[in-house]
Amino acid sequence: MIAVAGGKGGSGKTTTTVGLARALSRRGASVVAADADWDLPNLAGLAAETRSEEPPRSTTSSSAAQPTITEAPSADGQIRPNRSRPVVLAPPRSPDGVRADAAFASLDAAVPPTMPTLLDCPVGASPDVAAPLRAADRCLLVTPLRRPALRDAVKTAAIARRLGCPPIGVVAVRAASVPEGVGDLFDCPVLGRIPQANAEPLSDPAVQSGYDDLARRLVRRDIASDWRVA
């Protein structure tokens, strides 16, 4: 599992989770994207709002019918998304009664290692970020290139390393270019640059191209060696 993490709210984590999941799906991968921000969940909502850009799915068209993390495994404990579009998992309907670490462990066990799994994390300084970072194998850092955002994302990277979830790379969002030294700041490479777009960035061809390029670079990493992608 890859935790998609960042600094403060609005850093682009959720958009990147959806955009990257769709880019991996375009490469033929069966992708699972789970909302790990149970206090402020918006992953399923964003995926539903921008559904029209995806091919129609043969199962359900209702975002309300999307399974939650605790309900996602089928009877034999497996998740089987098709390759036409990612499966997006909303948080539990009553998260107060669910142990987050156990839920993410169940998700990890339910998804075969050949399927990319992305966790849309809470804000970097939140106590709730610990559970998805502990569950994930690596994290992907998402940040605008403004100084306060970079500072917060560096703190998130340090937290992730302490929790055994080392960053594999940085995604610079709403960026026209990436200055030299950004990778050195995080001690990991810059894997993607997503340009500034309109109010609906996931419908912008330049943004989609940015996520396609990110997916291409990501599948070259060691963590993706078992993924079934083109």
Q: Please state the φ and ψ torsions of residue 216, each to the nearest 5 degrees.
A: -60, -45
Cα–Cα distance for residue pair 136/122, rounded to 1 Å = 14
The C-alpha atoms of residue 35 and residue 193 are separated, in whole angstroms, by: 23
Alpha-carbon span 154 to 182, nearest angstrom: 10
| pLDDT exceeds cutoff 50 at 63 | no
Spatial contact of 142 and 201, defined as CB atoms under 8 Å apart: no
The answer to whether residue 58 scores a pLDDT higher than 60 is no
Residue 57 confidence (pLDDT):
40
Domain annotation for the chain: domains and CATH numbers: 2-224 (3.40.50.300)
Mean pLDDT, residues 202-212 taken together: 95
Residue 183's pLDDT band (cuts 50, 70, 90): very high
In whole angstroms, give the CA distance from residue 188 to residue 167.
Answer: 7
Residue the block writes with tokens 């912008």: 204
- Per the CB < 8 A criterion, the answer to whether 134 and 101 are in contact is yes
What single-letter DSSP state applies at residue 201?
G
pLDDT at 68 over 90: no
Which pLDDT score, from 0 to 100, does residue 78 have?
Answer: 65
Q: Which of the listed ranges 9-23, 65-79, 102-116 does the model predict with the highest average pLDDT?
A: 9-23
Query: Phi-psi region for residue 10, left (φ > 0), alpha (ψ -120 to 50) or beta?
Result: left
- The pair of structure tokens assigned to 79 is 């998740």
pLDDT digit string (tens) for 117-175? 999 999 987 889 999 999 999 999 999 999 999 999 999 999 999 999 999 999 999 99
228: exposed, middle or buried (C-beta count within 10 Å: 0-12, 13-18, 19+)?
middle
pTM reported for the whole predicted model: 0.89
In this predicted structure, what is the pLDDT of residue 6?
94
Q: What is the pLDDT of residues 24-53, one digit of tens each?
A: 999 999 999 999 999 999 999 999 888 644
Specify the amino acid at residue 26.
R
Q: What per-residue confidence (pLDDT) applies to 220?
A: 87
